[in-house]
Amino acid sequence: MSESLKTPLYHEHVKLNARMVDFAGWNMPIQYTNLKDEHNATRNHVGLFDVSHMGEIRVKGPSAVASLQWLTTNDIEKLNDGQAQYGLLPNDHGGLVDDLFIYCLKKNEDYLVCVNASNKDKDFRWMSENNKYHADITDESALWGQIAIQGPKALELCDQVFNYPVSKMNRNEIIESEFQGFKIMIATTGYTGELGCEVFIAAPGTEKLWQALLKNPIKPIPVGLGARDILRTEMKYSLYGHEIDDTTNPYEAGLGWAIKPMAKEFMSKNTILSAKEKGLSRKLIGFKMKDRGIPRQSYQIKTSAGDVIGVVTSGTHSITLDEPIGIAYVTTPFSHEGAEIFVDIRGKLTKAVVVKTPFVQK
């Protein structure tokens, strides 16, 4: 097995005694102190996340919009300079290659696409092979570090460290600037449900930015992948390989809001729409446990009689709510709020109920 890749912040994590694990081929911190403290710091104060493992793909040139319109499901033409949107990268049979964020740096000319670390090579290859309108598509992942700054105090921290009114930016915006001579892009996006931003920085400057953030009097807390997963589960945000994959119809995943079929043509449009028009056989839901037990990915969802009606995609003990929660696909008749379902935990049927999501209202 090849050695795990290291982000520009690897040595910073080691200095902080982080527990490191392999994640999508990267040596990443799963926690620094404990899940509860890191989670609560993000919900109540501000947390720092090393997300340098994410992929950055640049799409440029006069046909950039046409190519992105074909490759992704959302309406790229709506984006003006400095705006961002969530989108999906469908495959050729109605499933998903990935989900992603698209940042408009210069309308009709220059776009940054941020993709999942585990899918970066696959995404770049797919986009290049299906570059119908011949945009200039480049993998810039090695050029960038990325730090997510999330929590109620995140924007105040950013205002101080960057000497720029980040707190005045709207959600899903991006600005280009610099930090100690290094090029940066500050994007008001994130994966926790909290206020905050994600900062792309030229890779050699990542350590300097991390250190400057930690030294600030606001005192942010480093947060690992463990707490990050609980935070995103509490918001019912999809994670590739859990809620979505190459076989997922985006409508059954509740991602229809990121699809704009009236605005344009895109890869697998007819296949994706026809599945919805025929009636979805399953839907992605959130549930809370009524009996004791923690639901985990791949656990079967059953009826009280033991008939299989679905599968858990993500499950954890919510630190905010102090109770077990989960995300699952279930057959459509059991997808309504209040439906009683049972999670098969090591052969025991444990009662749960379908609830409104996100679990934590922000």
Are 287 and 228 members of one domain? Answer: no
Q: CB of 340 within 8 A of CB of 286? A: no
Looking at residue 2, its pLDDT comes to 58
DSSP 116-185: -GGGHHHHHHHHHHT-TT--EEEE-GGGEEEEEEESTTHHHHHHHHHTS-GGGSPTTBEEEEEETTEEEE
Q: CB of 116 within 8 A of CB of 131? A: no
The answer to whether residue 59 sits within a structural domain is no
Looking at residue 3, its pLDDT comes to 81
Are 12 and 153 members of one domain? Answer: yes
CATH code, domain with 285: 2.40.30.110
Looking at residue 1, its pLDDT comes to 38
The answer to whether residue 18 sits within a structural domain is yes
Q: CB of 321 within 8 A of CB of 234? A: yes
Q: Residue 262: which residues within 8 A CB-CB, separation 6 or more?
A: none
pLDDT in tens, the chain (362 residues): 358 899 999 999 999 999 999 999 999 999 999 999 999 999 999 999 999 999 999 999 999 999 999 999 999 999 999 999 999 999 999 999 999 999 999 999 999 999 999 999 999 999 999 999 999 999 999 999 999 999 999 999 999 999 899 999 999 999 999 999 999 999 999 999 999 999 999 999 999 999 999 999 999 999 999 999 999 999 999 999 999 999 999 999 999 999 999 999 999 999 999 999 999 999 999 999 999 999 999 999 999 999 999 999 999 999 999 999 999 999 999 999 999 999 999 999 999 999 999 999 98
The answer to whether residue 306 sits within a structural domain is yes
The answer to whether residue 89 sits within a structural domain is no
Q: CB of 26 within 8 A of CB of 5? A: yes
Counting the structural domains of the chain, the total is 2
The answer to whether residue 274 sits within a structural domain is no
Last residue of a domain, one of 234, 255, 273: 234
Are 200 and 329 members of one domain? Answer: no
Are 225 and 148 members of one domain? Answer: yes
Classified as helix, coil or strand, 243 is coil
Are 294 and 228 members of one domain? Answer: no
Are 147 and 211 members of one domain? Answer: yes
pTM surpassing 0.85? yes
Name the helix (H) or strand (E) containing 19. Answer: strand 19-23
Nearest 5°: the CA angle 152, 29, 16 is 80
The answer to whether residue 317 sits within a structural domain is yes
The answer to whether residue 338 sits within a structural domain is yes
Domain span at 166: 5-52+142-234
Are 336 and 206 members of one domain? Answer: no
Are 331 and 186 members of one domain? Answer: no
Q: CB of 188 within 8 A of CB of 172? A: yes
Are 227 and 291 members of one domain? Answer: no
Q: Residue 168: which residues within 8 A CB-CB, separation 6 or more?
A: none
Last residue of a domain, one of 168, 200, 234: 234
The answer to whether residue 60 sits within a structural domain is no
**In this structure, how many other beta carbons lie within 10 angstroms of the beta carbon of residue 63?**
18
Are 148 and 48 members of one domain? Answer: yes
Torsion sign over Cα 273, 276, 282, 288: positive
Name the helix (H) or strand (E) containing 42. Answer: helix 35-44
Last residue of a domain, one of 199, 234, 269: 234
* Residue that has been written with the tokens 């609560």 in this structure: 40
> Given strand 47-50, what is the order of strands in its sheet?
174-179, 182-187, 196-202, 144-150, 47-50, 221-222
CATH code, domain with 178: 3.30.1360.120
Backbone angles phi, psi at 300, to 5 degrees: -80, 145
Q: Residue 327: which residues within 8 A CB-CB, separation 6 or more?
A: 233, 236, 242, 243, 284, 285, 286, 287, 312, 313, 314, 315
19 burial type by CB count under 10 A (0-12 exposed, 13-18 middle, 19+ buried): middle
